Amino acid sequence: MERLTVIGSGTMGHTITLNAAWAGIPVNMYGLTESDCAAGIDGIRRKLEVLVSNELIDASEVGGIIGRIRPLSSLKDAVKKADFIIECVPEDIALKNNLFRQLDLECGPGVILASNTSGLQLSDIARGTRYPERILITHFWNPAHLVPLVEVLRMPVTREEVFSRTMALLKLMDKRAIEVRKEVPGLVGNRLQFALFREAQHLLDQGVATKEDIDAAVTFGIGRRLSVTGPLLSADMGGLDVFDSVSNNLFKYISKAEQSYPELQKLVSEKKYGSKNGQGYYEWDEQFSARMNELREQELIRLKKADQLTK
């Protein structure tokens, strides 16, 4: 079994740590400070309470899961005996590149270094390292302990053994790993997500529908189907002749904007960032925020249970 270290105890770091420990893997969780580590463990405990209340785990398992997690605020100690390291620091290329250069010096050439980035170039992250052949991307989706997808991107120089060990670890963590075969901005998931978001902005900008109805078109329509059949499988089921015809008629009307739309730019300029500070497209008071977070978590738990039934 890989000796795993997760660098970061924040939003992604602590949920990836929980995911690994839940799968039976001992894991070091590095945080910048002891208080960061404590906050990460507190977040893990709260999520475990939810998993117990929803019967995804038994209360008797909680101690074992927590016992497999070792929070550390010393990077040197966190990576000293690691075989596999997953980095979850903020999306800043200088920060990530400096960290990977440091890890490259600290760790032997057999240690795999994986970045959780979704938007930065792998070649930029690995630049200047001695052993780029052991570096790749493992992009988890938030919250990592409930969303199965992980996008894996390797470089042409990445060793086959590095890729196979990565896929084996992700399988052990009960993830649905996909291989991204070309280095493109946004990988696969974010390109699909932001294509939809661009068109949603366009429809709102054009006054085609309200924000509530645009969201409802997804949550009560295509979102229901896409949770079972992705866009290409859906096209097969709908008939490729039909999808070809609609594509030829519709594509010319779909947004080709190269920047975000004025309404989003206005909200950002006014420092209205959404749920993180109480105002975005929607008003995020405490009650609404709690309700939406609970609804999303409960739906992800329902799908997690369904996944377990189909194994």
Architecture of the 4-180 domain: 3-Layer(aba) Sandwich (3.40)
- Exactly one of 151, 212, 258, 286 is catalytic; which is it? 151
Q: Give residue-wise pLDDT tens across range 251-297.
A: 999 999 999 999 999 999 999 999 999 999 999 999 999 999 999 99
Long-range contacts of 63-67 (CB under 8 A, 24+ apart): 65/18, 65/21, 65/22, 66/21, 66/41
Quote the tokens at residue 52.
Answer: 């117990």
Quote the tokens at residue 21.
Answer: 């420990």
pTM for the model: 0.93
| Domain range annotation of the chain | 4-180, 192-309
Contacts of 8 (CB under 8 A, 6+ apart): 14, 30, 31, 87, 88, 89, 116
Helices (H), the chain: 11-22, 34-53, 62-67, 75-79, 93-106, 122-126, 160-172, 189-205, 211-217, 223-226, 231-238, 240-250, 262-269, 286-309
Q: Give residue-wise pLDDT tens across range 94-135.
A: 999 999 999 999 999 999 999 999 889 999 999 999 999 999
- Whether the CB-CB separation of 112 and 162 falls below 8 Å is answered with yes
Q: With CA atoms as reference, report the closest residue to 83 among 59, 113, 127.
A: 113
Quote the tokens at residue 131.
Answer: 């052993």
Please report which confidence band the pLDDT of residue 309 belongs to, taking 50, 70 and 90 as the band edges.
confident
Quote the tokens at residue 302.
Answer: 């329902």
CATH 3.50.50.60 fits domain 192-309: no
Is 286 part of the annotated catalytic residue set? no
